[in-house]
Structures are given as structure tokens and as C-alpha cells.
Structure 1
Amino acid sequence: MELVPFSESDAAQLCAWIPNEKANFQWGGPTFSFPLTPEQICEHIAREEVKPYLLTHDKEPIGYIELFRVSDSEYRLCRVLVASPAHRGKGWGYRLVELALEQARMISKVYKVSLAVFAHNTAAIACYSSLGFVVLPELTKTRFFNGETWTLLRMERWL
């Protein structure tokens, strides 16, 4: 497995991985509307603070992650996705995050990585916790999706 830079030519593949409105919101929050389009993706990744990556296995794309510059010393992991449900539960999400942390370590002056995750995404929370992320209860927020209230946890770890 390796993490490779994501490019505009990968945008259609990423859109195909987001099958419905709920998955779109869980993955991208309020940043993207559904149906997700390559134009939305390309506009987003063109932002200077966004560093997007694909996770590949045997040269096949299987996941996506972003490092988002919050400040000179902090990056946030965003839009973490292991695309196929058949690939989940096999440690590939762990490897995806681990590789992204390696990328963050290579950025001069970065000493903290944070992320936001919905509280009902217990598998992701377990993955992040196993990699040293801790929940910051004072930064808990809520988001609203189709009449439901979703709790959004903030987690961080020091590099």
C-alpha cells in the first residue's frame, strides 16, 4: 500500500465512491453537495491549504485522505475514506491514516494533527484512538442531517 498524490484526473473515481447523500455527508460534511461532482472536487483540491492523497494497493486506488493546513504547526486529517465496504475492517483505514501521519511529519514545523469524526462512526474512532488520537470534549459540536442531530468529535495527536 502507498499514498500517492491525488489529481484532478482522479476526481471521477472519488465521486463514484460516494453512493448516496448520507455517505456524502458522513465523508465530506457540509463541504460538498450530493451528488458529488468532479467539479466540486477539483475546486476543493485547488485550495492551497488542501493536500489530497489516494491510497493505492497493487496500483489500484482504494482510499482517499486529505491533509488540511489549519496553521503552520497544525494539519487536520479530512475526508478519510476506504472506498469499498469489502476493504473495511482489514486495517486499511489504519494504514491510510498512518501514511498520512508520515506525510504530516515531513512538513516543516508541523507538530499537531487533528481530525473531526462523527460519534456514531465507532470503527473510525477506534482506529484513530489506536494511532494515539485523543478526543477533545470541549470541542464537541453538532451537525444536522435530514432531521437528525449528529455529534461531531474533535480528536488530536502530537507528532
Structure 2
Amino acid sequence: MRLVSFSQEDMDVLLNWVHSPELNHLWSGDRFTFPLDKYQLSNHLICEEVTPMILHENGQRFGYIELFRESATTYRLCRVLIGEPSSRGKGHGRRMVELAIEHARTQLNAENLKLTVFEHNRQARRCYESLGFEVYERKPGFVAANGESWTALYMKKVLTA
């Protein structure tokens, strides 16, 4: 598996993966409204701070992830998604995050990585914790697409020794 730069050819695949208001909110917080469309996505991807990538293996696309530059040495992992439900739970998410960490460290010279995950997304949280991310803030009160109140966990990982 490898991470490659997100391209226009990947756009329809990503749009098809985000198939419900709940998944859209889980994946992007309040960044995008549902239904996700090319206009919203294109406007987001032109931002120079965004490094969008797609997880590939043998010509198949498995997931999407972004690195968002907060400063010269700090990046945020954003919009992490394994696309097809049948591909979830097989280690693809962990591998994608590992590759993104390596890309941030070697290609972007990042010293710190941050991310936000909703507390009830236990599988994602366990993945991030197993890769060395630690919670530094807990913030309740995010209203999801279905009206529920979700708690966000802010996590970080230091990449320098």
C-alpha cells in the first residue's frame, strides 16, 4: 500500500464514499455540508495548506487522508476515511495513518502532528493511540447531523526524538 497525491480522477470515488449526513460529519466535522459535492471539495483542495492523499494498492483506492499545515513544523491529520465498508477493520486505516506520519516527517519536516477524533469513534481513537497520539483536550458539545451531541478529542504526537 502507498499514499499518492489526490487527483481529479479520485474525486468521484471520494464523493461516493461519503454517502450519509452522519458519515459526512464524522469524516469532516462541520467543514462540508451534505451532500458533499465537487464544488465544496474543489474549493477546499485549492487551499495551499492542504496536502490531500489517497491510499492505493494494485490500482484500487482504499482511503483518503489530509495533512493540513498549521505552522512550519506542525501539521494536522484531517479527514481520515477508509472508503468502502468492506475495506474497514482490515488494518488499512492504521497503514494509511502510518504512511501519512512518515510523509509528514520526511517530506514536510513536521515535528508535531495533531488530530481531532470524536470520542464515540472508538476504533479510530484506538488506532491513533496505538500510533503514539495522546489526548490533550476534550471538548463536548459538537452537534452532529442527526442532532446528537458529540465530544471531540484533540490529540497530538511529537515526531522529533
| TM-score (normalised: structure 1) | 0.95
Change (3 A) 1:108 1:19: closer
Structure 1 residue aligned with 2:139:
140
Root-mean-square deviation (CA, aligned residues, Å) is: 1.2
Range with greater deviation from structure 2 (109-118 or 45-54): 109-118
Equivalent residues in 2 for 1:7-156 (5 A)?
A: 7-137=7-137, 140-145=139-144, 146-156=146-156
Q: Secondary structure at the match of 2:125?
A: helix
Matched AA of 1:7: S
The residue matched to 2:30 in structure 1 has which SS? helix
Opposite residue 22 of structure 2, the aligned amino acid is K
The Cα of 1:8 is off from its aligned counterpart by 2.5
Work out whether residues 8 and 42 of structure 1, in 8 Å CA contact, stay in contact via their aligned partners in 2.
Answer: no
Q: TM-score if structure 2 supplies the norm length?
A: 0.94
Q: Secondary structure at the match of 2:29?
A: helix
Distance 1:40 1:116, change over 3 A: same
Post-superposition CA distance 1:65-122 (Å, at most 9, x none): 0000011110000000011111111111000000000110024542000000000000
Match of 1:135, SS? strand
Q: Once the 2 structures are TM-superposed, how far is the Cα of residue 141 of structure 1 from its aligned partner?
A: 4.5
Alpha-carbon distance, 1:9 to partner: 2.8
- List 4+ stretches of structure 1 deviating above 2 A: 139-142
Write the distance in 2 (CA, Å) between the matches of 1:111 and 1:44.
Answer: 24
Ranges in structure 2 where 5+ consecutive residues have no aligned partner: none
The aligned residue for residue 2 of structure 2 is 2
Distance (whole Å) between structure 2 residues aligned to residue 4 and residue 108 of structure 1:
15
Q: Is the 8 A contact 2:140 2:149 kept in 1?
A: no
Distance 1:53 1:24, change over 3 A: same
Segments of 5+ residues of structure 1 without an aligned counterpart are none
Tell me which moved more, 107-116 or 11-20.
107-116
1:59, 1:68 → 2: CA distance?
Answer: 26
Number of equivalent positions: 158
